[in-house]
Amino acid sequence: MFVFRERPDLDPDPLDGARVEVAFTDVSIDLREGPELAATLASLSATLDVDLARASQVHGDDVVTVTDAGSAVPEADALVTTRRRTALVVRVADCVPVLLADPAGGVVGAAHAGRRGVELDVVTRTVERMRALGAREVTAWVGPHICGGCYEVPEVMREDVAARVPETYAETTWGTPSLDLGAGVAAQLSAAGVAVTTVPGCTREDARLHSYRRDGAASGRFAGLVWLS
């Protein structure tokens, strides 16, 4: 069920010993919108033994603070929380899933960074919200996403995005204009003073991961999750 899962060796919350867990699911589960999503999320929640909190992602930079594990699904592209045993979920199929944590501060966050989200710098907005909740030393995991060698875009789009985030400027392996969203996200996080861990894997190239560029409308969605245990 997981292409990556770990319990990082970070300093726990000194008040209650809470530690961080991070995970990225694989193609064995499909988290795309549809009639089966609720049941799939319930199964994932039971497997991890945590509540799940997610958003209706719209390629923006809104950040929502999760205060309970209710059924409301806000329209946003990033979530933060201080709740224990509540996994924040972002769903992707080529975009960049970003998981963030400061266990000593007792805060975690998750962001969905597609092309527009990178332009809007959704990851920095997320870090700012986490710091407003008490985070100090934030670590980020930049999850599997379509790589710069595969994410072909029109030349005008590459120029426009790279004018805002120069690190995104790239070229496909076949010599056409592309964007490296992961490099852009990593640069934004570093500028915000966040330590970055990159989880390897290109969604278009790795059959263990869902990819819209590879599979089109048939593509599912995989998820990045982060929580305080």
- The answer to whether the CB of 80 falls within 8 A of the CB of 7 is no
**Predicted confidence (pLDDT) per residue in 8-30, tens digit:** 988 887 767 789 999 999 999 99
Whole-number percent of the chain with pLDDT over 90: 93
Contacts of 4 (CB under 8 A, 6+ apart): 22, 23, 24, 143, 144, 199, 201
So what's the pLDDT on residue 141? 98
The C-alpha atoms of residue 188 and residue 184 are separated, in whole angstroms, by 6
Over residues 155-177, mean pLDDT: 98
Residues 204-217, mean pLDDT to the nearest whole number: 97
For all residues of the chain together, what is the average pLDDT? Answer: 96
Helix or strand run (H / E) with residue 118: helix 115-120
Domains of the chain with CATH codes:
2-146+196-228 (3.60.140.10)
> Residues 119, 161: contact at Cβ < 8 Å?
yes
Calculate what percentage of the chain has a pLDDT beyond 70.
100
pLDDT at 155: 98
Give the pLDDT score at 13: 75
Query: What's 167's DSSP letter?
Result: G
**Global pTM exceeds 0.75:** yes
Amino acid 60: pLDDT: 97
Q: How confident is the model at residue 70 (pLDDT cuts 50, 70, 90)?
A: confident
Burial 15-46 (b: 16+ CB within 10 A, else e): eeebbbbbbbbbbebbbbeeeeeeebbeebee
Mean predicted confidence (pLDDT) in 76-95: 98
